[in-house]
């Protein structure tokens, strides 16, 4: 069985529900967490991101041979790991055989969900928490844009532990700067929910119902559309616009190049067998 947040009563109580089926678009990578393609999201020029260019994920260190084979077929150029050093040391990093570069770029020094009194069932609190993550990670966000815009920077995967919070902040900011519609960004964020519910179910089966995992269940299942909508509004409130954010972190001139790389014809390095 899986879990969901009780939500409306302000309680972090976790209720049981049947395991959801992962929707079309999620990649079947055995041992992976919330791995999916951003293909189909339209950018400022109305062109959609092409399949296999940019993906998002939770941790990639527990992939079994079948899961590693899925990623190897993508011929990844870049894996950006947003987790803290502590998390990576504990859980391991993506195998270097899966990408030309595995980059350890923590978005923040604290692990989301590790502080007492966090209110993950409150979308307003989550939105503010995401804004704090962005504030702390502006330099990393700039690095991500520069890397992805480099010749040979794609295909790429951006990931953290669950692929929804830190990855959500970076992917939403990136899509916002590239001109994606707010609703498309919110929809992409909410698509994490079935995957994290399935992941919680898997952990409960492995660890048992009385494990310390239960203390983290509220953060695992917290995927509110209002939280991402609030984050997008907060970025505009603090920075003026996503275009202004891009100027602030010094990447505005790279966005047309990155947009073209994400939506344009297949590049030579992506041809079958290229590494």
Q: What is the pLDDT along the chain (275 residues), one digit of tens a residue?
A: 233 333 333 433 333 343 345 555 677 788 888 999 999 999 998 999 999 999 999 999 888 898 888 889 899 999 999 999 988 888 889 989 999 999 999 999 877 665 545 788 899 999 999 999 999 999 999 999 999 999 999 999 999 999 999 999 999 999 999 999 999 999 999 999 988 888 888 777 877 767 766 777 888 889 999 999 999 999 999 999 999 999 999 999 999 999 999 999 865 444 434 44
Q: Which domains does the chain have, with CATH numbers?
A: 29-268 (3.90.190.10)
Q: Which residues contact 47 (CB under 8 A, 6 or more apart)?
A: 259, 263, 264
Rounded CA-CA distance 231/89 in Å is 30
pTM: 0.85
Rounded CA-CA distance 219/3 in Å is 11
Rounded CA-CA distance 33/41 in Å is 21
Rounded CA-CA distance 109/121 in Å is 23
Q: What pLDDT shows up at residue 204?
A: 76
Q: What pLDDT shows up at residue 270?
A: 47
Q: Which residues contact 226 (CB under 8 A, 6 or more apart)?
A: 123, 124, 127
Rounded CA-CA distance 136/109 in Å is 9
Q: What pLDDT shows up at residue 32?
A: 85
Cα angle 19, 162, 75 (rounded to 5 degrees) comes to 105
């Amino acid at each position: 069985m899986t879990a969901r947040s009780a939500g409306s009563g302000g309680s972090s109580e976790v209720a049981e529900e049947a395991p959801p089926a992962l929707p079309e678009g999620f990649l079947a990578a055995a041992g992976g967490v919330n791995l999916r393609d951003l293909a189909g999201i339209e950018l400022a020029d109305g062109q959609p991101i092409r399949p296999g260019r940019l993906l998002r994920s939770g941790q990639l260190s527990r992939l079994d041979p079948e899961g590693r084979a899925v990623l190897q077929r993508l011929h990844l150029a870049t894996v950006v790991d947003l987790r803290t050093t502590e998390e990576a040391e504990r859980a391991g990093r993506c195998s270097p055989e899966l990408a030309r570069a595995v980059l350890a770029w923590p978005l923040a020094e604290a692990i989301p969900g590790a502080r007492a009194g966090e209110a993950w069932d409150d979308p307003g609190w989550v939105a503010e928490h995401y804004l704090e993550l962005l504030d702390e990670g502006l330099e990393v966000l700039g690095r991500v844009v520069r890397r992805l815009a480099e010749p040979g920077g794609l295909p790429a995967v951006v990931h953290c532990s669950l692929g929804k919070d830190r990855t959500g902040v970076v992917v939403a900011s990136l899509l916002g700067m590239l001109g994606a519609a707010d609703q498309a960004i919110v929809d992409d964020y909410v698509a994490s929910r079935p995957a994290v519910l399935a992941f919680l179910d898997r952990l409960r089966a492995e660890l048992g119902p009385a494990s310390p995992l239960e203390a983290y269940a509220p953060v695992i299942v917290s995927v509110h559309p209002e939280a991402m909508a609030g984050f997008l509004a907060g970025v505009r409130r603090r920075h003026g616009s996503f275009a202004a954010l891009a100027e602030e972190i010094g990447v505005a001139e790279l966005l047309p190049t990155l947009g073209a790389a994400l939506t344009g014809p297949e590049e030579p390095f992506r041809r079958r067998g290229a590494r």
